């Protein structure tokens, strides 16, 4: 899985505050992306470095809630 980049997806072990890119040293945090599995109503969170665009798995999983219902006017 490439997620829009030809680079390998790395892994970060969650410890303390996570804000520094291990690839380039960028120190102002990450963008967040999701790989969704709609059939299983789950997903995985990926971190993307704004500096070098490296992507990282961190082991965070999410559950997808049913769609937002429209409010009646």
Q: State pLDDT tens for residues 21-71.
A: 999 999 999 999 988 887 878 999 999 999 999 999 999 999 988 765 555
Range of the domain at 19: 14-63
CA–CA dist 50, 43 (Å, integer): 22
Residue 73 has pLDDT above 90, yes or no: no
In a domain, 50, yes or no: yes
In a domain, 23, yes or no: yes
Tokens of 37: 């599995």
Residue 3 has pLDDT above 60, yes or no: no
In a domain, 32, yes or no: yes
**What pLDDT sits at residue 51?**
95
Instruction: Count Cβ atoms within 10 A of the Cβ of residue 30 and give its class: 0-12 exposed, 13-18 middle, 19 or more buried.
Output: buried
In a domain, 8, yes or no: no
In a domain, 34, yes or no: yes
In a domain, 24, yes or no: yes
The residue with greater pLDDT, 14 or 20, is 20
Q: Quote the number of domains for the chain.
A: 1
């Amino acid at each position: 899985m490439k997620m829009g980049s030809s680079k390998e997806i790395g892994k970060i072990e969650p410890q303390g505050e996570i804000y520094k890119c291990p690839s380039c040293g960028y120190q102002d945090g990450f963008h967040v992306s999701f790989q969704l599995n709609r059939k299983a109503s789950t997903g995985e969170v990926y971190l993307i470095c704004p500096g070098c665009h490296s992507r990282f798995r961190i082991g965070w999983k999410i559950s997808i809630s049913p769609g937002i219902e429209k409010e009646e006017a």
